[in-house]
Amino acid sequence: MHREYELTIISAVQRAEAQHKELLDKYEKIFLANNGEIIDRKDWGVKKLCSPINKHYRAQYTFYDFSGDSSQLKEMERLMNIDENILRYMLIQTGQNVDVDKRKAAIAKAEAKADAAASRSKHDEA
């Protein structure tokens, strides 16, 4: 049974973009096992932390909305807990028996609506 999850990863700022991509690919492979699927992925970029975490003052934020099998997630959490590049993470189950196509359509519709509102507000300012 596939459930829907949200995962936010706060990782140490990597010296090279390739290192950051490698780090994320490692965990994506785990939660995509057993026919898992990414519904939405957002790179929120590098942000200053309110308080330092392990002497890091800035971190890279990445958000995932995905469906997958819960059997793989315990291993992923175990690996994240021991990975020195992962400063913090939060994994939340948001639904059961998710219809991935409907969720992707709903997200695309919400993003289109937000883009239209943003373009209207820019037009009103001009």
Which of helix, strand or coil describes residue 88? strand
What does the pLDDT look like over 63-75, one tens digit per residue? 998 888 777 788 8
Strands 3-12 and 86-96: antiparallel
Domain layout of the chain by residue ranges: 3-98
| CATH superfamily, region 3-98 | Ribosomal protein S6/Translation elongation factor EF1B (3.30.70.60)
pLDDT in tens, 18-69: 888 898 998 888 888 877 888 889 999 899 999 998 889 999 999 998 888 7
pTM greater than 0.85 (yes/no):
no
Q: Please check whether residue 98 is in contact with residue 66, taking contact to mean a CB–CB distance below 8 angstroms.
A: no
The pLDDT value recorded for residue 115 is: 77
